[in-house]
Homo-oligomer: A and B are copies of this chain.
Amino acid sequence: MDICRQVGLNVQRIRRTRGWSQEQLAFESGLHRTYISGIERGARNPTITVLKELADALGVPASVLLESDAAAVDEEGTIAPIRSS
């Protein structure tokens, strides 16, 4: 699994958990809407500062965005991976 794709999936998953659109995340993070789209699709290769900005906007530690999926996001105790429901 490519790292860009991995990050994209994590961003998308957490964003949806927040109930946000890409535009809202773009606003919160100060990044461009189309760039968020590119990142979620794994088409972009963001820098660590951008990763940090996304993480801050999403309210999670940056390291979470790099994790190999599966593992539930437990930190902050609020994310949890949408098991049905």
Contact = CB atoms under 8 A, between A and B. Distances in A.
Contact of A66 (B45, B61, B68): B61
Copies assembled:
2
Contact of A61 (B46, B62, B68): B68
A3 B66 contact: no
The 3 A-B residue pairs with the shortest CB-CB distance, nearest first, are A63-B63, A63-B66, A3-B52
5 contacts: A4-B49, A45-B47, A48-B51, A62-B66, A63-B66
Interface of A: 3-4, 7, 45-49, 51-52, 61-64, 66-68
Given A3-B48, A47-B47, 10 more contacts: A3-B49, A3-B51, A3-B52, A3-B62, A4-B48, A7-B48, A46-B48, A63-B64, A63-B66, A66-B66
